[in-house]
């Protein structure tokens, strides 16, 4: 049955709206890319001469280098800890009923609602009381708390989609709990685990507000260094660094989508 | 799933891994609780100027918040959060719908990556990008001047409009994901049934799809509200001191004035306000949330 003209026009209007909204989302990235290759130190559109000098400057700027290293350290520790703690608890949440279950789950998911500056200030005060300010420990603990909800969710969704009968079959054939866990459960959960870890890693590396509160000069992560740079200088060095950030993040997520199916992990499409 | 059909259902009663898997999570929950308790404790203490230690118990921090200067920031923050949440919802719905219902895999992937990437970029990169877009010599003004539409650059930075645009950009991805999750749970057969009974696309959308995505709408609105409340770099850099939110006040009091008790009190008030607003939004939208998913 051919659709009437008015319906088709509505379809086109819908498509135009989607394209316009996507344009709004992508616009800043495109504009920053144009600014990053501009040879001039001051913002100007369109650029008269192209150059890579701001990329060299971004790579060789001391605070960005140490920020990058600090960020990597914090990211590796916090995302790995969050992965272990979060997936273990997601398993318990999915399988067992116990007293206090809702309370613990609520507390662990609270950082999705509690503002990051509040989490940051709370941990700063706590760190001061146990003499841990200016250490990586407080930064890592802070990031674990902030990224844990994302690991919890993505592993929990994978567990929901997992066919428990496979585990029961292995157990009925004499598999001990640990061997069932390692030969059946964990391999089947791999997409959820990898994307949970990836989400945690990217979010930790890019976390800013809470980090601003809990980091010191010595433990400053890259976003904090970038924020300080923007406050002091107006040249396109930040634009160059932003382009690198955008390209790397988009590439990682594209890979994750190709190999893990982001749609399923984010629960925006149904596993069939 | 029904476990009783399997002889080893006793396995779940023995609960393998239960303790081992719960204890680490409980430890994290405890640290988080202590950190929140520390804020609560600081919020009712007096400041000792020039020191990070705190004095005796007082409620002065909370009464100081009633001063117009601070009350204004709270009112502005709630207004910005509401505005951002509603605009994100209106812009996010078509995108979420296209993400779920598009039959083209490439289109789907593109929408997903384009939407999710900003979510993971962090506030600093995105806020900086908006400075480049909205600044007086930035993209928008340069284009408008080149096209001869305006002569003087528009003041977009340091205005509520500019801050709102940047805030919407921050919350839009998460709203899209929450809406898409809700829309993907709607059985397309309902829409087909409405169509076969002669309903046009608009009528199907407003009487079937939109009401059935109610829970996603409520989740999207409340999350957008909370995330906007949490924003710091955006109001700080795009607002440039002209548009202030509670987050900026907390940072300024903590790190410029070293008045941590007052900063903590602002956090407590902010948290209460966030939860109260979410509670009220839920109450207002209760009819929408109640709609079953299937």
Q: What is the per-residue pLDDT across A12-43, written as a single tens digit (0 to 9) for each?
A: 888 899 999 999 999 999 999 988 888 776 67
Cβ contact A121–B267 (<8 Å): yes
At A115 the pLDDT is 95
In the predicted structure, residue A183 carries a pLDDT above the cut 70? yes
Across-strand partners of B54? B47
Task: Confirm or reject contact between A41 and chain B (CB < 8 A).
Answer: no
pLDDT digits 0-9 by tens, B113-135: 888 888 888 889 999 999 999 98
At A52 the pLDDT is 87
- Which site among A268, A269, A272 would you substitute to test the B interface, given the most B Cβ atoms closer than 10 Å to its Cβ? A268
Cis amide leading into A46 (omega within 30): yes
DSSP designation for B104: -
Cβ contact B263–A121 (<8 Å): yes
A116 contacts in B (CB within 8 Å)?
Answer: 230, 232
Cβ contact B128–A202 (<8 Å): no
Residues 6+ apart with CB under 8 A from B130: A28, B162, B165, B166, B169, B234, B238
At A27 the pLDDT is 93
- Looking at domain A61-265, its CATH class is mainly alpha
Separation between Cα atoms, residue B141 and residue B151, nearest integer Å: 9
B201 contacts in A (CB within 8 Å)?
Answer: 7, 10-11
Q: Chain A residue with minimal CA distance to B131?
A: A28
Across-strand partners of B45? B57
At A40 the pLDDT is 77
pTM for this entry: 0.90
Separation between Cα atoms, residue A117 and residue B229, nearest integer Å: 10
At A238 the pLDDT is 93
% pLDDT > 70, chain A: 94
Q: How do B45-47 and B54-57 pair as beta strands? A: antiparallel
Cβ contact B132–A88 (<8 Å): no
- Burial per residue of B266-276, b for 16 or more beta-carbon CB atoms within 10 angstroms, e otherwise: bbbbbbebbee
The per-residue DSSP string of chain A comes to: -PPPHHHHHHHHHHHHHHHHHHHHHHHHHHHHHHHHTBSSSS--SS-SSB-SHHHHHHHH-HHHHHHHHHHHHHHHHHHHHHHHHHHHHHHHHHH---TTHHHHHHHHHGGGTS-HHHHHHHHHHHHHHTT-TTSHHHHHHHHHHHHHHHHHHHHHHHHHTS-HHHHHHHHHTT--HHHHIIIIIHHHHHHHHHHHHHHHHHHHHH--HHHHHH--TTT--HHHHHHHHHHH--STHHHHHHHHHHHHHHHHHHHHHHHH-HHHHTTSS---
DSSP designation for B198: T
Cβ contact B264–A121 (<8 Å): yes
Task: Confirm or reject contact between A26 and chain B (CB < 8 A).
Answer: yes
Cβ contact B28–A108 (<8 Å): yes
% pLDDT > 90, chain B: 48
Q: Say which of A31, A86, A92 has its CB closest to residue B22.
A: A92
A33 burial (CB, 10 Å; 0-12 / 13-18 / 19+) is: middle
Residue A83: closest CA among B134, B168, B28, B151: B28
At A226 the pLDDT is 95
Cβ contact B129–A96 (<8 Å): no
At A271 the pLDDT is 45
Extents of the domains making up chain B:
23-289
Report mean pLDDT in 10-residue bins for chain B, 294 residues. Answer: 44 74 95 96 87 82 89 94 96 93 87 87 90 89 88 89 94 92 87 84 84 89 93 92 91 89 95 93 82 51
The CA-based diameter of chain B, rounded to the nearest angstrom, is 80
Task: Confirm or reject contact between A12 and chain B (CB < 8 A).
Answer: no
Mean pLDDT of A154-166: 87
Distances (CA, A) of A18 to A4, A234, B99, B103, B217: 22, 33, 10, 15, 18
Task: Confirm or reject contact between A261 and chain B (CB < 8 A).
Answer: no
At A2 the pLDDT is 59
Mean pLDDT of A210-222: 94
In the predicted structure, residue A199 carries a pLDDT above the cut 70? yes
Distances (CA, A) of A188 to A111, A192, B213: 28, 9, 30
pLDDT band at A261 (very low <50, low <70, confident <90, very high): confident
- Looking at domain B23-289, its CATH class is mainly alpha
Q: Chain B residue with minimal CA distance to A263?
A: B112
Task: Confirm or reject contact between B129 and chain A (CB < 8 A).
Answer: yes
pLDDT digits 0-9 by tens, A95-139: 999 989 999 999 999 999 999 999 999 999 999 989 888 899 999
Residue ranges matching CATH 1.10.3720.10 in chain A: 61-265
B260 contacts in A (CB within 8 Å)?
Answer: 121, 125
A22 contacts in B (CB within 8 Å)?
Answer: 95, 111, 114
């Amino acid at each position: 049955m051919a659709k009437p003209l008015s319906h088709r026009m509505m379809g086109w209007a819908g498509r135009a709206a989607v394209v316009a909204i996507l344009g709004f989302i992508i616009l800043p990235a495109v504009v920053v890319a144009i600014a990053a290759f501009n040879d001039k130190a001051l913002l100007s559109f369109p650029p008269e001469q192209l150059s890579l000098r701001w990329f060299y400057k971004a790579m060789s700027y001391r605070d960005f280098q140490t920020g990058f290293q600090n960020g990597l350290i914090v990211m590796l520790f916090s995302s790995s800890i969050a992965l272990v703690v979060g997936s273990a608890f997601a398993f318990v949440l999915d399988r067992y009923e116990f007293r206090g279950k809702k309370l613990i789950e609520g507390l662990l998911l609270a950082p999705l609602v509690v503002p990051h500056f509040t989490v940051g200030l709370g941990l700063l005060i706590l760190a001061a009381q146990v003499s841990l300010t200016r250490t990586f420990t407080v930064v890592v603990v802070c990031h674990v708390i902030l990224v844990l909800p994302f690991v919890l969710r993505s592993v929990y969704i994978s567990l929901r989609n997992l066919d428990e009968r496979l585990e029961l079959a292995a157990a009925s054939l004499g598999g001990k709990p640990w061997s069932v866990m390692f030969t059946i459960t964990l391999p089947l959960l791999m997409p959820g685990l990898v994307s949970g870890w990836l989400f945690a890693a990217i979010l930790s590396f890019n976390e800013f507000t809470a980090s601003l509160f809990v980091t010191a000069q010595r433990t400053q992560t890259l976003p904090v260094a970038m924020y300080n740079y923007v406050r002091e200088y107006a040249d396109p060095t930040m634009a160059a660094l932003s382009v690198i950030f955008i390209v790397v993040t988009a590439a990682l997520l594209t890979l994750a989508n190709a190999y893990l199916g982001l749609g399923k992990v984010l629960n925006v499409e149904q596993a069939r | 799933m029904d476990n009783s059909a399997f002889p080893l259902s006793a396995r779940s009663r023995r609960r393998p891994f239960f303790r081992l898997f719960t204890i680490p999570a409980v430890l994290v929950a405890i640290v988080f609780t202590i950190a929140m308790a520390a804020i609560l404790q600081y919020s009712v203490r007096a400041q000792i100027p020039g020191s990070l230690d705190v004095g005796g118990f007082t409620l002065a921090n909370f009464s100081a918040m009633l001063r117009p200067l601070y009350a204004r920031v709270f009112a502005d923050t709630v207004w910005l959060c509401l505005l951002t949440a509603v605009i994100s919802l209106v812009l996010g719905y078509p995108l979420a719908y296209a993400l779920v219902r598009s039959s083209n895999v490439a289109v789907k992937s593109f929408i997903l990556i384009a939407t999710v990437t900003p979510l993971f970029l962090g506030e600093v990169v995105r806020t900086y990008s908006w400075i480049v877009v909205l600044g007086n010599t930035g993209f928008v003004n340069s284009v408008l001047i080149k096209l001869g539409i305006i002569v003087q650059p528009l003041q977009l930075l340091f205005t509520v409009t500019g801050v709102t645009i940047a805030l919407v950009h921050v919350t839009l991805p998460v709203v899209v994901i929450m809406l898409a999750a809700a829309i993907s749970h709607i059985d397309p057969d309902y829409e087909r049934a409405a169509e076969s009974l002669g309903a046009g696309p608009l009528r199907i959308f407003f009487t079937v799809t939109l009401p059935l995505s109610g829970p996603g709408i409520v989740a999207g609105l409340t999350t957008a509200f909370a995330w906007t409340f949490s924003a710091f770099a955006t109001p700080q850099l795009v607002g440039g001191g002209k548009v202030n939110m509670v987050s900026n006040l907390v940072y300024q009091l903590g790190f410029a004035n070293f008045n941590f008790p007052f900063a903590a009190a602002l956090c407590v008030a902010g948290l209460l306000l966030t939860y109260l607003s979410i509670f009220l939004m839920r109450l207002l939208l209760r009819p929408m949330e109640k709609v079953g998913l299937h």
